[in-house]
Structure 1
Amino acid sequence: MSSNTPKRAVLIAGPTASGKSALALAMAQAENGVIINADSMQVYRELRVVTARPSAEDEAAAPHKLYGHIAASTDYSVARWQREAMAEVETAWAQGQLPIICGGTGLYFMSLIKGLSEVPEIAPEVRDKWRSFTGNHHAELATRDPAMAYKLNPADRQRLIRALEVIESTGQSLLHWQASASAPLADVALRKLFKSLPREELYTRADARFVQMLEQGALDEVKTLPPLHKDQPLMKAIGVPELQAHLRGEISLDEARLLAQTATRQYIKRQLTWWRGQMADWDEVTDESPVI
């Protein structure tokens, strides 16, 4: 891309089963684009089927980056994704290609357009301490960092652990680090698209997709997962706990399917709620929208 050409990027967000990946592929083929993954589960290599990663055929049809490049046992953060995503964006620009960032993880997108605090590395012993802590995380945070505790849901264990790690390891509240955030795409011409469908149609698609996942080998994928700590992100991917319960003989495969489908519907509802509060300046598109 010449130095006189304005830097452009496309962001495609939306709930599970809305057709984001198909839209990104069509746009990449039409506009010499590179698709950069913004889904926190699709970064892991062990679960292509369960996390609905693009197929090998789709990956061959257009460049795809940051899909399946991380081992399930690896600690992977929003900060690391931001660094890797921006490296891919810069490479795309250097090669005269359009970066198309596609996924359903809202925090990934926010790290690019609103910024991310540069929190120093957390000491391993501190991380282990709070991950294995069996007490009340919210109460512990309230004594150490009441302002941060006030902002967090007492049931949001993952974010409470993060806040406790930060305050203990750095001596500063996570709020302090968040205040110093800078946005990598602040000066870029962005096209922000939110792929939308009626909720009931999303539910129907998601139900059918999980059946298809089972037909494509989802159970075998879960069966061959390496031993992982229960707090590893991939252990919380929809379908993993349900199919593992089946593999342990606790529930039937049909029960596992129904539980996973219910969990997917609940996740879609949370995604829609979260995005509705974030997308005032995003263009909402459907399957019929002429976006290319």
Structure 2
Amino acid sequence: MNSQGVSHSAVLIAGPTASGKSALALDLAQRTGGIVINTDSMQVYRDLRVITARPTPGEEAVVPHRLYGHVDAAVNFSAGAWVNDAAAMLAEARTQHRLAIFAGGSGLYFKALTRGLSAVPPIAAEIREGVRARLERDGVEALHDELARRDPSSAERLKPRDRTRIARALEVIEATGRSLTDWHRDGLPPLLPPDTFRALFLDPDRDALYARIDARFEAMLKSGAMEEVAALATRQLDPLLPAMKAHGVPALIRHLKGEITREEAAEIGRADTRHYAKRQFTWFRHQLPEFEWVKPEAARGWLDDVIPGRS
């Protein structure tokens, strides 16, 4: 048991976007002296504070926050890279006898944390650039056909127009001579074995959540999201980079180019975010059944249960 009376080394707080995860993590960290560790694949990018609803500087000053905004948008950051960073943060929390509080909405990050990750080695930049050049020159269908010849199992699993995942599968087989399926069989162990953590998935009412998503997107625009995306657009980065595909970013860039109106861009951003939230519900239900589904109004009681002796 750690110095704050919590009997496990980590608490995992997941949920759909705009469900209140950051506030709940902040509350738990204040009550336990814990460290909040970002588990969201878009909030790692320093260029995207407003559009990804990262904790504010004021919130970050209240308790230690780690892995927020520590990656440049030009980096093709991966789940494997995040796991390496998360391992260091978990070690820091344990050394300081603090509760590690992992908060975010990226299912793959949580799965890597609790189930382990495939041991795919880093891909050389020249291989990645070569595959992307072929993607732009020949189109996604041609690369899917190539993947079907070289890695039939991955090609069958992927949608024929899934540019990002098709490119990734080709990069791996070109760099290693082995398919992603093969690498997935030889995985790395989880950072958090069973029985070393408690895991919560916030389960808000869908209609209320979608209304909150819509209102939050408009608030983001009023708080500098447009200016943030404009600054990112001036860098002229590869549109396939993860940061360039954050919800709202592609549509706002189209608006800045004069292709669509501000309201059209905002509606695309709101719709994309709502669809993402729907996918998050489905993904966690099927992929991570060990998470306890809790209504937001019951979350405080869940925290009380996590912290023995408090009510």
TM-score range relative to shorter protein: over 0.9
> What is the Cα deviation at residue 111 of structure 1?
0.8
SS at match of 2:219: helix
Say if 2:286 is the partner of 1:280.
no
Structure 1 counterpart of 2:207, from 200, 203, 207: 200
Structure 2 counterpart of 1:261, from 253, 257, 270: 270
154-163 or 244-253, which moves further after superposition?
Answer: 154-163
Identity %: 50
Structure 2 counterpart of 1:178, from 176, 181, 184: 184
Unaligned segments of structure 2, at least 5 residues: 304-311
User: In the alignment, what sits opposite 1:12?
Assistant: 13
Q: Which amino acid aligns with 2:176?
A: T
> What is the Cα deviation at residue 188 of structure 1?
5.4
Deviations 1:174-210 (A, max 9, x none): 1111111122212551101001111111100000000
CA contact (8 A) 1:33 1:98 kept: yes
User: In the alignment, what sits opposite 2:165?
Assistant: 159
Unaligned segments of structure 1, at least 5 residues: none
Matches within 5 A, 1:76-87: 76-87=77-88
SS at match of 2:11: strand
227-236 or 131-140, which moves further after superposition?
Answer: 131-140
User: In the alignment, what sits opposite 1:32?
Assistant: 33
CA distance in 2, matches of 1:206, 1:170: 41
Structure 1 counterpart of 2:256, from 247, 264, 269: 247
> What is the Cα deviation at residue 124 of structure 1?
2.1
CA distance in 2, matches of 1:251, 1:129: 32
Runs of 4+ in 1 over 4 A off after TM superposition: none
TM-score (norm 1): 0.95
CA contact (8 A) 1:10 1:100 kept: yes
User: In the alignment, what sits opposite 1:116?
Assistant: 117
TM-score (norm 2): 0.89
> What is the Cα deviation at residue 13 of structure 1?
0.9
Q: Which amino acid aligns with 1:177?
A: W
Q: Number of aligned pairs?
A: 290
Q: Which amino acid aligns with 2:217?
A: F
CA distance in 2, matches of 1:108, 1:280: 15
CA RMSD of aligned residues (A): 1.6
Deviations 1:103-143 (A, max 9, x none): 11111111111111221221222211222223323222110
> What is the Cα deviation at residue 273 of structure 1?
1.6
CA distance in 1, matches of 2:267, 2:61: 33
Higher helix content, 1 or 2: 2
CA distance in 1, matches of 2:7, 2:206: 37
Say if 2:291 is the partner of 1:291.
no
